Structure 1
Amino acid sequence: MANYELLLDGEDRPATNRRSPRVASLDVFRGLCIFLMMVVDYGASIFPVITHSPWNGVHLADFVMPFFLFIAGVSPALVYKKVPDRLEATRKAVLRALKLFFLGVILQGGYFHGVSSMTYGVDVERIRWLGILQRISIGYIVAALCEIWLSHQTGWEIGFFKSYYSHLCVAFSLSAIYAGLLYGLYVPDWQFKVSPATSSLPSNDSSVYMVKCSVRGDLGPACNSAGMIDRYVLGIGHLYTKPVYKNLKECNMTTNGEVPESSPSWCHAPFDPEGILSSLTAAVTCIIGLQYGHVLAQLQDHKRRLESWSLFSVSIFGIGLFLAFIGIPLNKSLYTISYMLTTSASAGITFCILYLLVDVYGFRSLTFVLEWMGMHSLSIFVLVSSNLAIIAIQGLYFHDRKNNIVSIVHR
């Protein structure tokens, strides 16, 4: 079958699936994820409306991460469809997840400082441990372990889930733990130090800021428990230094990316959108994707597949909108349950459309570029996220080094 290994380029395909017909829409969907990532990374400066929402709400960029997680969840249902040795399968899944995690640390931990300095290296006291690939690896291993250990139990049959009700129990448990910690933990007042190396402020001295909280269940950027957990467990020096909430009006960020001293203290604080607490609901997105993989692995009829996917997508989309209506905001930085459900459903609907176009009607000539990108998704991700592709393009100039494509676009 097609490239089922999340962002891995066709690695370690199962022998049991080698004779199965190729499902090209999986590669197309994966290629679409890479394409959207490139569009929002390089097009946001031209079209700010597509960039991440500063806090509540969703823009185009806020769909990229759930789409990656969704397709990462589909793969275990196909790779581990038949597992003769669960321990060996677990070992391979863990090893694969660890490789992806540490590759993410290298790419997004701070080694590559950008296209301007063309330098690398990072202070281990400032290294960022969590990021895009790290989150995908966490979601993937959760989905893989569910598939390896919980897919062959007898029990209820809930629609097309058959014996996979235990996966839904895991998803519900992760969501319940997330909600309990997000709304139940008390967040005290906290302070942090900003040094010139991590601050956008034109200052030569470190500044100490105090954030007044003393609340429970706050979902704002300053006093949410997700940030508190990351500060305690990871350390504030290991968090993302350019959170999108700095684009909020309260922070008054300038066009140069500087936050004035007069802005609220939390505007200067780091915050990781791929943090520990939000990884719980992110893993649920992978479990949702896993159920789509079950349909693909067990149902051979196009109509039945599309009916099952459509029903599931519409159902969870409706639940997500209902939760947003009753007050649980759509928030990518916190990866709220309403956001998780609506974006997962959007990924499911998008996959249905691609499956219908590519695998049912055979319009592969229209999507061959995306299919190729999907088959080489990890390589493209490395080139894009490390800025190696941009640095290579920047190296081509006319007369003066400033006369290059990258500089011209940013003018």
Structure 2
Amino acid sequence: MARYEPIKECSDEKEDAGMADREGIRRDDVDVEAASAIRISEPTSTIVACDPSEEDPSPVPPDKSQPRQRLASLDVFRGLTVVLMILVDDVGGLLPAINHSPWDGLTLADYVMPFFLFIVGLSLALTYKKLSCRASATRKALLRTLKLLVLGLFLQGGFFHGVNNLTFGVDIEKIRWMGILQRIAMAYLVVAVCEIWLKGDDHVTSELSMFRKFRFQWAVVLVLVILYISLLYGLYVPDWEYQIPVVASSSELKIFSVKCGVPGNTGPGCNAVGMIDRKLLGIHHLYRKPSYARTKECSINSPESGPLPSDAPPWCQAPFDPEGLLSSVMAIVTCMVGLHYGHIIVHFQEHRDRIRQWIIPSFCLLFLGLSLDFFGMHVNKDLYTFSYMCVTAGAGGILFTGIYVLVDVYGYRWTTMVFEWIGMHALMIFILLACNILPILIQGFYWKQPQNNILSLMGV
């Protein structure tokens, strides 16, 4: 039976650092905790750091005779995902083939979120490979989760609406509670707590012994999958209605009634994911431009945005949050899969062992997800279905393995230096480009009239 270390009280940070030094652990191995895969932090941490001088935890135990090395493939994978995010955000509207799928199906854009979550889990395994105080680590994880939630609410909550017409500002009535960073924060907290508290002290010598060491974490995964599937396919979705302003009038509202009255529906209008968000978050606090507005039922230009067909169903203009509460349950599972891949780095030092233990489950997940899609459990990003989780997590594992072989095994870092740099400065890039901060800075300073901004001086 696995034994667990007693909870230790930490008197101060100096004692914590001293214990880490005596055990051969760097300070950042104890203190640095991942808050998101896109480095919502200073650029040189694993993901979120307290000190800009801190570096990523090394995948191998420290060797006093040799300098510690970063796991370059992790930075490259993170940077590649950020580039992919920027690409689909800027070009997706012009090329529907790479834009988010309107509903069922999978496109290039639909891999971005799972890849971020995969990196979060993988990084957490490196961050928490050694712990001097579980209680202290838990407090820090809670604090960093709160910081990430606040940052996500500020950047993606709707404060910066109307950027193009220079009317951006705070809109509390329509603030969006959920978003990319909020989902990452939820997954980070759950996985961090699991990694801090739910692992034994078994000595890992094989795949079986590693499963025994982390068996309680796998039990959490099983519970989350069962919970999600049970709610998605078992909850009864009643009829519901919503209101939107009439185009010709700013005060008049038009009411739409959506007929459901069915359980287990996975269509855009009558699924349990949307129902839970409407009940708990409020329909006015959901995302107002859902992907299903580009379906054939809702756009005559599908898969591009366009005017509504004459026989469009009533749910076409309803808000729906792709980063909702129930769908985030399965997102946590993606993060747990990444955690397992990180465990392989920590407990197996040979490249051959790592690659074998990554590539086999990756292809198994990919095959399982495609099989489930074939038999009716469709791959769907907005619902974050179990089949979608399997396909994207398997693809993430395969991609990371390929990058690891190229960069960390064969040493071709020069071919991926740009992605590595982006991965190390992903916070700055994400905020400036993906959150409309750069357009606000460029257009927000003007002379007398809003139109006389920096862009006008440049002739744009």
TM-score over 0.5 (shorter chain): yes
- Give the letter for the 1:24 counterpart: A
Aligned to 2:85: 37
> How do 1:278-289 residues align onto structure 2 when only pairs under 5 Å count?
278-289=327-338
Q: Is the 8 A contact 1:14 1:79 kept in 2?
A: no
Q: Distance in 2 between matches of 1:162 and 1:282?
A: 24
Does the 8 A contact of 2:74 with 2:119 survive in 1?
Answer: yes
The TM-score normalised by the length of structure 2 is 0.81
Tell me which residue corresponds to 2:190.
142
Judge which range, 285-294 or 110-119, deviates more. Answer: 110-119
Gaps of 5+ in 1: 405-411
Q: Are positions 1:95 and 2:143 aligned together?
A: yes
Deviations 1:127-160 (A, max 9, x none): 1010001111111111111100001265996365
Which range moved further: 257-266 or 173-182?
Answer: 257-266
Normalising by structure 1, report the TM-score.
0.90
Contact in 1 for aligned 2:79/2:419 (Cα 8 Å): yes
Give 1:21 shift.
2.6
1:85 Cα offset (Å):
1.1
| From 166, 169, 175, the counterpart of 1:118 | 166
For 1:75-224, list aligned pairs within 5 A.
75-152=123-200, 158=208, 160-195=210-245, 201=247, 203-204=249-250, 205-224=252-271
Aligned-residue offset at 1:253: 5.6
Does 2:287 correspond to 1:237? no
Which residue, out of 433, 436, 449, partners 1:387?
A: 436
Gapped regions of structure 2 (runs ≥ 5):
1-27, 63-67, 444-452
- 1:261–1:325 Cα change, 3 Å: closer
Counterpart Cα distance in 2 of 1:258 and 1:268: 11
Following superposition of structure 1 onto structure 2, how do residues 226-375 of structure 1 map, counting pairs within 5 Å? 226-252=273-299, 259=308, 262-375=311-424
Query: 2 CA distance for matches of 1:329 and 1:75?
Result: 29
Kept in 2, the 8 Å contact 1:74–1:289? The answer is yes
Mapped partners of 1:319, 1:149: distance in 2? 30
Structure 1: which amino acid aligns with 2:264?
G
2:314 alignment partner AA: S
Distance 1:138 1:372 in 2: 27
Equivalent position of 1:409 in the other structure: none
Q: Distance in 1 between matches of 2:89 and 2:291?
A: 13
Q: In 1, Cα distance between the equivalents of 2:310 and 2:285?
A: 23
What SS class does the counterpart of residue 306 from structure 1 fall into? helix
Q: Quote the Cα distance in structure 2 between the aligned partners of 1:23 and 1:261.
A: 55
State the Cα distance separating 1:386 from its structure 2 match.
Answer: 2.2
Equivalents in 2 of 1:369, 1:94: separation in Å?
Answer: 33
* Structure 1 CA distance for aligned equivalents of residues 213 and 148 of structure 2: 30
Distance 1:40 1:202, change over 3 A: farther
- Distance change in 2, residues 1:397/1:128 (3 Å): closer
State the aligned residue count.
398
Bigger-Rg structure (1/2) = 2
Cα 1:113–1:97 shift into 2, 3 Å: same
